[in-house]
Chain A
Amino acid sequence: MTHETDIIRQVLEGDIESFRLLLARYEKPVIRMIRNITYDRESYEDIAQDVFLTAYKKLASFDRARSSFSTWLFTIARNKSLNELKRKKPRPISEPPEKSNPHNPSDDMAKKEFYGRLDKTLQALPSRQRRAFVLAEFEKLSYAEIARIEGTRPGTIKSRINRAKMKLRTALEEFAGDVL
């Protein structure tokens, strides 16, 4: 596997096709992060395209002494997602689907209801908590990496994630109490 530093050097020397290696490595995490932060099912891939184009344009300014490439790229993705959220009016959160068989939560419909409730709660979280949660739980980044992306301290990130988890758990328990 080619080392990231070598790929970046090749791209900076004018080999645009080498950028495909970075795309192959990071397209899924970046797209997933944007989708889970913006909840925009229509344009999350467009935002991701902008992220990679911006990364290409600013590649010369990337300093690996300051951060890893993934942290740098996620910071761009975070900023683009925030801009998109500011640009777009908040959309109404969709209602959870109708309740089905409440006595058997293992069936598919009941599972969807639980997922719907968790989605709704995640979407309703304060933006900072949601970003920290998404980066930690779905992208598996460390507190230190998330803190660098968010421009804050790891302790702050830890408390944001804990608060987000608590809200999700409470919502899930309340919902389970309702249907069971």
Chain B
Amino acid sequence: MKIDEIYNAWKEQKSRIEVGKGFSDKVISRIHQYERQKRKPLFDSHRLIELISTRPLGKATVVTAGVLIGFVRMMLVVYAFWGC
């Protein structure tokens, strides 16, 4: 066998390719998944309520935020009276 023949046969062999079963299905499935994620709203109130009600950290965050807001409001009221 000549060098050129070997070289061409090698190129031929390298050009052959078997695509894995279901390759295009996997890609299409990933595209559908991507589209679903894209359509999810940035702010989902139901998801937020679910997060707060099911996670202890969520509940603690809401309570802490409430306390802080209440404290700031009280300070503003006191400041308004003393300021006058």
A interface list, Cβ under 8 A from B: 16-17, 19-20, 23-24, 27-28, 31-32, 35-36, 45, 48-49, 52-53, 56-57, 105-106, 111, 114-115, 118, 137-138, 168-169, 172-173, 176
Contact = CB atoms under 8 A, between A and B. Distances in A.
Interface in B10-34: 10-11, 13-15, 17, 19-20, 23-24, 26-28, 30-32, 34
Q: How large is the interface on B (under 10, 10 to 19, 20 to 34, 35 or more residues)?
A: 20 to 34
B49 interface: no
Given A53-B30, A169-B7, 15 more contacts: A16-B32, A24-B24, A27-B24, A28-B19, A31-B23, A32-B14, A45-B20, A49-B30, A53-B34, A56-B31, A111-B6, A111-B9, A114-B6, A137-B11, A169-B3
B14 to A, nearest CB: 6
B1 A36 contact: no
Contacts of A105: 1, 6
Interface of B: 1, 3, 6-7, 9-11, 13-15, 17, 19-20, 23-24, 26-28, 30-32, 34-35
Contact of B24 (A23, A115, A173): A23
A112 to B, nearest CB: 10
A35 B17 CA distance: 9
A16 B35 contact: yes
Contacts of A57: 34
A169 B7 CA distance: 8
Contact of A172 (B6, B17, B23): B6
A82 B32 CA distance: 27
Contacts of B34: 53, 56-57
A115 B23 contact: no
- Name the prevailing secondary structure of the B interface residues: helix
Contacts of B6: 105, 111, 114-115, 118, 172, 176
Given A31-B17, A53-B31, A115-B13, A168 B26 contact: no
Contacts of A24: 24
A20 B10 contact: no
B31 A173 contact: no
A23 B27 contact: yes
A111 B1 contact: yes
